[in-house]
Amino acid sequence: MALSRRNFTKMLGVAAAGAVVAPRMAMGKPAGFNINKKGGKAKMKLTFKPYPLEMQHTFTVAEYSRNSTPDVLTQIEFDGAVGYGEASMPPYLGESIATATAFLKKVNLEQFPDPFRIDDILTYVDSIAVGNPAAKASIDIALHDLLGKLVNQPLYKLWGLNPNNTPYTDFTIGIDKPEVVRAKTEEAIKMKQHLKVLKVKLGRGNDQEMIDTVRSVTNLPLYVDVNQGWKDKSKALDMIYWLKEKGVVFVEQPMPKDQIDDMAWLTEYSPLPTMADEAFQRLPDIVDKIKGVYSGINIKLMKSTGLYEAQKMITVARALDMKVMVGCMTETSCGVSAVAQLSPLVDWGDMDGNLLIKNDPFTGMKVVDGKVTLTDLPGIGIKKI
Ligand code: MG
């Protein structure tokens, strides 16, 4: 069933009534969440701080290299509970610590007496300014974490999802010289997470060398992300046929996002699914830009403005018979654990963002035998270290 905003709110309301309101009534306190422990009106309090992420290795894709990622951590406090959120902002998406901070300063959550009015709250947040998807996601994630904590349940349970249906996640091998790629691949397959799939970045003119180098180390299935690096559709198609022979599962964002006709042609003839990443951000894009052009979508919370819209994206994509993967930016365990709550609904996971950084302030979702493994902690399932 499609989780419309209203149905979702209703569902959380039912969970709240069962899990938390009854015990409070038994203690002689009034039902509801807008009355705090001292009997006054509780208010949501939003706080945030810049938290630049330090990368384990220099990260190289088709268009740039970098050693750190701008990030802002958010918190929403309500009646003794704290929800955590995050805005991760790789520079190519146009947000920064300055833009996120300016946006978050405009957000007034105190006007909402009930944090379960998620539809009202997130519609308001989205209306404050256009753009700012990561800043908006940082509120969405913190709010969902807070709601799960208020009813003491992980989100995947409130959404009725089977935690055994989570996907395997890849680990990303960036573009580099063969000796570096070989060393990184050897390191990846020895990781304690026992990965079952790797993702290889392509699109800088050494594609076959990259794949041959990875293949000299491992036979694991491979996902490929070209980050818009191929400009010629016929060469792209030849390459995809070659990649299929090499055990590649799908090809992400093979061509520039504005070469729409070329991309539709490529998808029509491609022997592997083509996945849109840079080509789409928000829900309406799926019908406006992606339908008939790609085989599927890569949903990231930092593009979708968070979990609320991401759920709708999955519903729309499935109705259009599209493949769905979830990805992440370079993120802490906060963002990755949030999207992991939805991951039982998707085909493929690209959720290694927290494994790429040195200064993760949280623990949460784990990769066990290559598979995304959810915790039983409430909300998005994380703990502060
Ligand atoms: Mg991508």
Q: How remote is the CA of residue 225 from the centroid of ligand 1, in Å?
A: 6
**Whether residues 164 and 298 fall in one domain:** yes
Largest CA distance in the chain: 71
Q: Is residue 86 part of a domain?
A: yes
CATH of residue 273's domain is 3.20.20.120
Residue 271 CA, distance from chain mean position: 27
Q: How remote is the CA of residue 319 from the centroid of ligand 1, in Å?
A: 23
**Whether residues 281 and 162 fall in one domain:** yes
Q: Is residue 15 part of a domain?
A: no
| Ion ligand 1: residue ranges with CB closer than 5 A | 225, 252, 277
Ranges of the chain with pLDDT below 70: 1-40, 59-64
Give per-residue pLDDT as tens, 26-60.
333 344 555 555 555 789 999 999 999 998 877 66
Q: Which pLDDT score is estimated for 309?
A: 98
What is the distance between the alpha carbons of residues 260 and 294, in angstroms, rounded to a whole number?
A: 9
**Whether residues 148 and 164 fall in one domain:** no
Other beta carbons less than 10 A from residue 231's beta carbon: 12
Q: Is residue 33 part of a domain?
A: no
Cβ–Cβ < 8 Å for 327, 303: no
**Whether residues 247 and 123 fall in one domain:** no
Domain stop point among 104, 122, 152: 152
Q: Which pLDDT score is estimated for 61?
A: 62
**Whether residues 79 and 209 fall in one domain:** no
Number of domains in the chain: 2
Q: How remote is the CA of residue 119 from the centroid of ligand 1, in Å?
A: 29
What is the distance between the alpha carbons of residues 195 and 364, in angstroms, rounded to a whole number?
A: 18
Q: Is residue 22 part of a domain?
A: no
**Whether residues 178 and 299 fall in one domain:** yes
Q: How remote is the CA of residue 41 from the centroid of ligand 1, in Å?
A: 44
Q: Which pLDDT score is estimated for 380?
A: 98
- Tell me whether residue 181 is exposed, middle or buried, using C-beta atoms within 10 angstroms of its C-beta: 0 to 12, 13 to 18, 19 or more: buried
Q: How remote is the CA of residue 162 from the centroid of ligand 1, in Å?
A: 26
**Whether residues 68 and 184 fall in one domain:** no
Q: Is residue 250 part of a domain?
A: yes
Q: Which pLDDT score is estimated for 57?
A: 76
Q: Is residue 82 part of a domain?
A: yes
**Whether residues 146 and 194 fall in one domain:** no
**Whether residues 169 and 77 fall in one domain:** no
Q: Is residue 183 part of a domain?
A: yes
Range of the structural domain that residue 311 is part of: 157-384
Domain stop point among 129, 152, 175: 152
Q: Report pTM.
A: 0.89
Q: Which pLDDT score is estimated for 50?
A: 98
**Whether residues 167 and 141 fall in one domain:** no
**Whether residues 61 and 165 fall in one domain:** no
CATH of residue 59's domain is 3.30.390.10
Domain stop point among 102, 129, 152: 152
78-81 long-range contacts, Cβ below 8 Å, gap at least 24? 78/33, 78/42, 78/43, 78/44, 78/45, 78/115, 78/146, 78/150, 79/33, 79/36, 79/37, 79/42, 79/150, 80/36, 80/37, 81/146, 81/149, 81/150
**Whether residues 227 and 344 fall in one domain:** yes
Compute φ and ψ for 76, nearest 5 degrees: -120, 120
